[in-house]
Structure 1
Amino acid sequence: MVKVPFASLSAAIAMLATALGFLTVQLRAEGYEQYVESVACASVVLYVTAALVVVTWVRARRPHSD
């Protein structure tokens, strides 16, 4: 069975969320307030997704006791 690359997936999602966070700051500085909320929301959703991938990774490593 092939192991799923949880660590690289979580890191990539977190990096994308960080990039969107920086974009949010740039949009606010440039005066594009109408886009700030949606980009910030997408950034937060990606951070939560990265955290859930880590939780899945931790749970997948535990031995299954049925």
Structure 2
Amino acid sequence: MTKGPFVAMSAATAALGTVLGSLALQLRADGYEQYVESVSTFSVLMYVTAALVLVTWVRDGRPTSN
């Protein structure tokens, strides 16, 4: 596979993680503490997903031994 779909997916999920992290900080500043934990968790989940997409891209590029 080409690297285009992997890079685009990873960049999009990392950007979403960044936006959600900023939202969590803003929620904390505005006093909405009950939502901060769930938004922060989802933000971390997006960063993990972006990392796993990059791992998949690296593993896809390796030659197979068939």
1:28 aligns with 2:25: no
TM-score, length of structure 2 as denominator length: 0.93
Runs of 4+ with >3 A deviation:
none
Name the Cα RMSD after superposition.
1.2
CA distance in 1: counterparts of 2:7 and 2:65, whole angstroms: 24
Question: Structure 1, unaligned stretches of length 5 or more?
Answer: none
1:7 aligned onto 2:7 = yes
Q: Aligned pairs, how many?
A: 65
TM-score normalised over the length of structure 1: 0.93
Structure 2 unaligned segments of length 5 or more: list them: none
**Percent identical across equivalent pairs?**
63
